[in-house]
Amino acid sequence: MKFINTGILGVGSAIPPKIVTNFDLEKILDTSDEWIRTRTGIHERRIVEDGVCTSDLATQAARAAMQSAGVTAAEIDMIIVATITPDTITPSTACFVQAKLEAINAAAFDISAGCTGFIYALSLGHAYIQSGACKRVLVIGAEVMSRFLDWQDRSTCILFGDGAGAVLLGPVQEPGILGFKLGADGSQANLLIIPGGGTNQPASRSSVENRQHFIKMCGNETFKFAVRIMGEVTQEALDAAGVGKSKLDFLVPHQANLRIIESARKRFELPEDRVVVNIDRYGNMSSASIPVALDEAIKSGRLKRGHLMALVGFGAGLTWGAAVVRY
């Protein structure tokens, strides 16, 4: 079987206009700007207005990606949305996006892989193009984290923000997506979980009263895992792509904590300007962090066609994944 080369044809993102600073959070929580900045690197995050949901941000990001690629909605074969904050449990957020885009020829589905969702979705989109099954695949990472945060829990709610990013994948002459590595360890599921609302703990008066529909995280354990896995999986993806770390132009990491990003930067001996960071302005946008960072690096002119990058994520599941891509 002959494999088709896959590349990124267009990139886009959508960021809600409303800014919530650490100082705003000081007014509702026992926290401080100083604690949040020094422990996480976050200064502010974006939060959607009432009535805006995940598919709205996803659609906006998808439109921007389609526009930058010069592709119309009718040309899209498949829409994959990575999210842990879907509009509804069923149908998928991707189906709402399909309707909003009027992408009448597209199949649509969601995948859930925590903050690694975008990398998992990218690997799927790549496989569909590579096999010849699809010609134009929209891969979107979109989250409205603010609706699943417990605003009384200072250890989690300060970390996250809302946003969406999208890439449009298609066949290309020279290979764009060069190698992947994905992984999971479900035995660690409780480290980062929304316990209520599924078959294990259906919505009930007590599940609501006990705040079971919000994100719960063991920050410390997740932190140690993230530091270890980010370096390991990036190296494994480089090996799968047959590329030495000295060839990397950019690292585009998941934005969970500046200290985690710094540890990966040092491991790959990259100068600061070769690591894309936006956690200071947006916090952790889960599946959206990587594609938003990618879009901003391209729009600002830092990341150009021909550059070699490693995209790396980790999160709930636990899950992890990295992709080596020539843009």
Q: What are the catalytic residues?
A: 115, 254, 284
Minimum CB distance to ligand ACO smaller for 234 or for 257: 257
Nearest of 176, 139, 179, 123 to residue 327 by alpha carbon: 176
Residue 109 sits in the site that holds ligand ACO (CB under 6 A): no
Taking CB under 6 A as the binding criterion, the range among 89-97, 253-261, 272-280, 299-307 that sits at the site for ligand ACO is 253-261
What is the nearest approach in angstroms of ligand ACO to the Cβ of residue 246?
27
Residue 105 sits in the site that holds ligand ACO (CB under 6 A): no
Residue 35 sits in the site that holds ligand ACO (CB under 6 A): yes
Report the alpha-carbon distance of residue 272 to residue 14 in Å, rounded: 25
Report the alpha-carbon distance of residue 288 to residue 252 in Å, rounded: 12
Report the alpha-carbon distance of residue 9 to residue 317 in Å, rounded: 30
Minimum CB distance to ligand ACO smaller for 129 or for 139: 139
Report the alpha-carbon distance of residue 156 to residue 322 in Å, rounded: 25
Residue 281 sits in the site that holds ligand ACO (CB under 6 A): no
| Dihedral class, residue 87 (left if φ above 0, else alpha if ψ from -120 to 50, else beta) | alpha
Residue number of the CB closest to ligand ACO reads 315
Contact between residue 123 and residue 182 where contact means Cβ atoms under 8 Å apart: yes
Contact between residue 309 and residue 325 where contact means Cβ atoms under 8 Å apart: yes
Residue 230 sits in the site that holds ligand ACO (CB under 6 A): no
Question: Which pair of tokens denotes residue 202?
Answer: 């259906």
Among 6, 13, 22, 40, indicate the residue that binds ligand ACO (CB under 6 A). Answer: 40
Residue 6 sits in the site that holds ligand ACO (CB under 6 A): no
Task: Return residues touching ligand ACO (CB under 6 A).
Answer: 31, 35-36, 39-40, 114-115, 154-155, 158-159, 192, 219-220, 222-223, 226, 256-257, 260, 284, 286, 315-316
